[in-house]
Amino acid sequence: MAQENVQPEARSAEQRVPRHVAIIMDGNGRWANARSLPRYMGHREGVKAVRRVVESCLDQGIETLTLFAFSSENWRRPKTEVGLLMDLFVHTLQKEVNRLDRNGVRMRFIGDREAFNEKLRSLMDAAEAQTAHNDKLTLVIAVNYGGRWDLAQAARRLAERVAQGELSAQDIDSEALGRELCIADLPEPDLFIRTGGEQRISNYLLWQLAYTELYFTDLLWPDFDKAAFDDALRSFHGRQRRFGRTGDQVEQSDSA
């Protein structure tokens, strides 16, 4: 009897594991401020939370994890903080890529790389090349990324194809535009998580989040642990994704 109850539940929970989780890792500065530490220490502590969430994704069989590490607006921060973030980025790549590779993680970077120095750009290229064959988890890091930038670069590419005569203006529909976006080859995010208490998108994956389930937590990013990630997954499990249909229609197609 007990077993009969357990098995269908376990199956449906397994089916509902999100394929793609996208996170805004916010609250590092406040975590440090609360401890009278420099903001930089919050960013350093945040790297540990990244490690934990990557491990959880590998354990849970989540296919894609996209992390917002530095937005196109974060250049507005004090020069010293931006510099320290770049140093931490370099240091973290140098330290973590081999381990990620061993664990079957494929790395991708999205955003405008032109703004970064040569050293950082070559580290990103090398990490992508080294891990390109891995297939356990795709870890997408958004750096100097903005959803508006992504849409603008997609529009520019379409315009270039029209100018070359490869495409006519009439061919431009939402699918054509969607195909030119940064992570068009990956499933759209099923679950979005933002830590740090703010309930906003901050120019993250504007197009890709159209039908993503949104989850906000007051926890600051360095405090985000495996239990907190499980809470977010549980919240996701409980949601009915209707994509414009009625609840009855969804139930009927689920039981079919």
Active-site residue numbers?
26, 74
229 within 8 A of 17, measured Cβ to Cβ: no
Q: CB of 22: closest distance to Mg ion in angstroms?
A: 16
Q: CB of 94: closest distance to ligand IPE in angstroms?
A: 19
C-alpha of 140 from chain center: 6
> Exactly one of 59, 160, 166, 198 binds ligand IPE (CB under 6 A); which one?
198
99 is written with which tokens? Answer: 């381990």
Q: CA-CA distances (angstroms) from residue 236 to 83, 181, 215?
A: 36, 25, 8
138 is written with which tokens? Answer: 């795709």
Cβ neighbours around 77 below 10 Å, total: 15
Strand partners, 250: none
Please say which residue, 26 or 213, places its beta carbon nearer to Mg ion.
Answer: 26
> Exactly one of 40, 68, 116, 229 binds ligand IPE (CB under 6 A); which one?
68
150 binds Mg ion per the rule CB under 5 A: no
38 binds ligand IPE per the rule CB under 6 A: no
Please say which residue, 172 or 201, places its beta carbon nearer to ligand IPE.
Answer: 201
Q: CB of 26: closest distance to Mg ion in angstroms?
A: 4
29 binds ligand IPE per the rule CB under 6 A: yes
Q: Amino acid identity, residue 224?
A: F
Give residue number: closest CB to ligand IPE. 29
Residue 25 binds: one of ligand IPE, Mg ion, none (C-beta under 5 to 8 A by kind): ligand IPE
Q: Which range touches Mg ion (CB under 5 A), out of 24-32, 100-108, 187-195, 237-245?
A: 24-32
Instruction: Give the ranges where 16-78 is alpha helix by DSSP (H).
Output: 28-34, 39-60
Rg (CA), the chain: 20
**How crowded is the C-beta side of 139, counted as CA atoms within 13 Å?**
25
Where do contacts with Mg ion occur on this chain (CB under 5 A)? 26
Where do contacts with ligand IPE occur on this chain (CB under 6 A)? 24-30, 68-71, 74, 85, 196, 198, 200, 202
